[in-house]
């Protein structure tokens, strides 16, 4: 399936410059919900099970539940490839491209790509080949101390590579990303402003400290007050707390969509529906 913006489906999200809150709604919908497709371990990863077909079937099943539950988009991620490398090898790029392209061909839902731990070049390559409309970058500007060591943002290189490979792909970038700590005290509001104004991020993602941890509401309000950009909550959203994030333009949900809320489980369409209703119901 070609990208939804081809063949009369509208322009790609980045074609008119950086996303604004208005253009975000135009392309992804009001109070957009993106469901995570956590890919099983891929070839070359320590926990790979030996069958790329099994990886594909699991991804297809999760994507169907995400689409059937009413999400506005989905985000593919090599979540099973622990421990994560800073940048990935060609085997990961090849496997992700194969799986994502096949699943996206069968399930007509807007989608993005995140390559862990922080490989925007690989994500852009996969996006260009598969038709993804956005990529997620965990560390786009600045530097953070992570379990993979110190990771520095490569905004300059990423933006120039995007211009060559996939100029219409939007960049969703994390601010103070989970599983990471600043190297020194910093002004978080200034860092958010730099991410948007100097790093040219199309959308800003706020998370908690780890996978499944809720984002700080005060932080959301503070960032909303200083930058006029789409803001998404990227971790810890549940059906119970979704209304509290009424100031966000969208949410990215993984753990809470899974059966019994277990991150390693399959996506449960009933949980998807509950979260979609809870978040979109904020606007009445």
**pLDDT value at position 44?**
97
Contact between 37 and 62 under an 8 Å Cβ cutoff? The reply is yes
Q: What is the pLDDT of residue 13?
A: 77
177 neighbors 144 (Cβ within 8 angstroms):
yes
Q: What per-residue confidence (pLDDT) applies to 211?
A: 87
Residues in the chain where the model's pLDDT stays below 50: 1-9, 282-284
| Closest by CA position to 174, among listed 225, 245, 84, 235 | 235
**261 alpha carbon, distance to own chain's centre:** 19
121-150 pLDDT, tens digit each: 999 999 999 999 999 999 999 999 999 999
Ordered structural domains, the chain, with CATH: 21-143+160-180+188-283 (3.20.20.70)
CA distance 49 to 43: 8
pLDDT for position 12: 75
Q: Where are the alpha helices (DSSP H) in 107-153?
A: 120-130
Chain segment 90-109, per-residue pLDDT in tens: 999 999 999 999 999 999 99
- Is the bond leading into 93 cis (omega within 30 degrees of zero)? no
What Cα–Cα distance (Å) separates residue 33 from each residue in 103, 110, 140, 160, 173?
19, 11, 22, 29, 16
As separate numbers, helices (DSSP H) first and strands (DSSP E) second, the chain gives: 8, 11
DSSP secondary-structure letter at 143? E
Residues in CB range of 264: below 8 A, 6 or more apart? 258
- At 146-176, the pLDDT tens digits run 999 999 999 999 999 999 999 999 999 999 9
| Contact assessment for residue 199 and residue 155, using Cβ atoms and an 8 Å cutoff | yes
Report the predicted TM-score, pTM, of the whole model to 2 decimal places.
0.94
Q: What is the pLDDT of residue 15?
A: 61
List all residues 6 or more positions away from 67 whose beta carbon is below 8 Å from its beta carbon.
Answer: 74, 107, 108, 109
């Amino acid at each position: 399936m070609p990208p939804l913006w081809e063949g009369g489906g509208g322009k790609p999200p980045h074609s008119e410059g950086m996303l604004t809150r208005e253009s975000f709604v135009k392309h992804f919908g009001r109070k957009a919900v993106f469901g995570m497709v956590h890919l099983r371990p891929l070839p070359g990863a320590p926990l790979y099970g030996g069958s790329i077909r099994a990886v594909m079937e699991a991804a297809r099943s999760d994507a169907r539940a995400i689409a059937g539950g009413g999400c506005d988009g989905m985000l593919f991620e090599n979540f099973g490839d622990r421990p994560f490398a800073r940048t990935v090898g060609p085997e990961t790029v090849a496997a992700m491209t194969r799986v994502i392209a096949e699943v996206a061909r069968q399930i007509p839902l807007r989608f993005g790509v995140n390559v862990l731990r922080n490989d925007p070049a690989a994500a852009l390559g996969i996006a260009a080949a598969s038709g993804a409309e956005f990529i997620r970058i965990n560390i786009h500007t600045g530097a953070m101390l992570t379990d993979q060591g110190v990771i520095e943002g490569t905004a300059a290189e990423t933006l120039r590579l995007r211009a060559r490979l996939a100029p219409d792909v939007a960049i969703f970038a994390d601010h103070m990303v989970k599983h990471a700590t600043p190297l020194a005290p910093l002004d978080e509001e200034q860092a958010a402003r730099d991410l948007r104004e100097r790093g040219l991020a199309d959308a800003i993602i706020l998370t908690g400290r780890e996978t499944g941890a809720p984002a700080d509401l005060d932080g959301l309000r503070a960032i909303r007050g200083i930058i006029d950009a789409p803001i998404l909550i990227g971790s810890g959203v549940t059906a119970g707390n979704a209304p509290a994030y009424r100031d966000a333009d969208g949410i990215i949900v993984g753990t809470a969509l899974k059966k019994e809320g277990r991150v390693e489980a399959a996506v449960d369409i009933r949980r998807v529906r509950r979260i979609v209703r809870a978040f979109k119901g904020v606007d009445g």
